[in-house]
Copies of this chain bind each other. A is one copy, B any other.
């Protein structure tokens, strides 16, 4: 909880949770963001917002939402970081952008967590610059929830695109951070952690993966997670593992391949049901199971990549998210803030005894 939450007139007895929201930079515009905020406020009455963006556009959109009344503060930002801006450009020239303001509010402890639909690379660069990395973390990671056959319905996968490479010590830290996320997010006592590879045999795969396998095996203290060794692509949506650790290049390819496959299958199914008059009739009779199925694989239901390894919580929403997707990203940020996840993660990484510096290629155990 932020000590400055009182600034935006709390009305509940429960402590407020303040979410800093970047209203600009998403594909669907700030209207979708404001709709998402209103949806999230229905779920969590004690949520408050600091909204960053163009005051002139935002004020009328926010005023229309009765259930947001008294629950937000607008911080005007003149600039918007676009999807085409390079991260280095955003770091040098982004000080007046809505994205910068969104992260800055977490840095200043005005807000408990940040949410943005904008450019991923720019958001990570600004987050690293302003929030700084946790001691012992050289490469922060982006963790997402992947629909799976597990009881929770999801697995955690990281990194899905913070950095295109990861060395063995980075992969070890991803294992620790991912396990911490799964413990807090799913209430699992000992999440099962696997390292993504092209085979499950120890002689297979890239050299840094073999090194990481040894490092994680050695570091693993039998305590609060279980290391299951190498896993393969088909294990990602399975119930054999809770946390999948990989580098950001491979993770991003896997994530987008999964999304593309699910989209193609969804299209093929709709086409099958539209093919003839008889099959349209069939669809009418099958409407309940088809809706149940669509809900289960709906990617908007869980939306949000969490930046792990920073002093503060930042959630990256899908750029193309609609109100439902944005509400999911905001409630994810709320849940993490309510659980003090950022502080717990910092303690976990520090207590792993992996050293207080953040140099690359240095293996400490």
Please, how many angstroms separate the alpha-carbon atoms of A212 and B284 in the complex?
50
Chain A interface (Cβ within 8 Å of chain B)? 84, 86, 147-149, 161, 164-165, 196, 198, 201, 203, 205-206, 232-238, 246, 248-250, 252-265, 267-269, 272-273, 275-276, 278-279, 281-290, 292-293, 296-297
Contact A196 B253 (CB under 8 A): yes
Q: Are B275 and A289 in contact (CB under 8 A)?
A: yes
CA distance A268 to B290 in the complex (A): 10
Given contacts A238-B260, A258-B258, A282-B285, 7 further A-B contacts (CB under 8 A): A149-B267, A233-B252, A246-B253, A254-B254, A254-B257, A279-B286, A286-B290
Shortest C-beta distance, A78 to chain B (Å), equals 25
**One of B248, B285, B292 near A281 (C-beta < 8 A):** B285
Contact of A264 among B147, B252, B269, B272 (CB under 8 A): B147
B293 touches A272 (CB 8 A): yes
When distances are taken between beta carbons in the complex, the residues of chain B under 8 Å from A148 are 264
Given A279-B288, A289-B275, A292-B275, also A206-B165 (CB < 8 A): yes
| Contact yes or no, A198 B292, CB < 8 A | no
A253-B254 CB under 8 A given contacts A237-B264, A282-B285, A292-B279: yes
B263 close to A164 (CB less than 8 A): no
| Inter-chain contact B233/A264, CB cutoff 8 Å | no
Q: How far is the CA of A55 from the CA of B293 in the complex (A)?
A: 49
Which of A86, A246, A257, A297 is most buried by chain B, counting CB atoms within 10 A of its CB?
Answer: A257
Q: A285-B281, A292-B279 are in contact. Are A257 and B272 (CB under 8 A)?
A: no
Distance in Å from the Cβ of A174 to the closest Cβ of chain B? 16
B234 touches A265 (CB 8 A): no
Q: A206-B249, A249-B250 are in contact. Are A260 and B235 (CB under 8 A)?
A: yes
Asked whether B297 lies within 8 Å of A268 as measured between CB atoms, the reply is yes
A260-B233 contact, Cβ under 8 Å, with A265-B297, A296-B268: yes
Question: When A165-B206, A236-B260 are in contact, do A273 and B286 touch as well, CB less than 8 Å?
Answer: yes
Cβ-closest chain B residue relative to A284: B285
Contacting residues, chain B, for A165 (C-beta < 8 A): 206
The 8 Å CB contact of A273, one of B265, B275, B289, is: B289
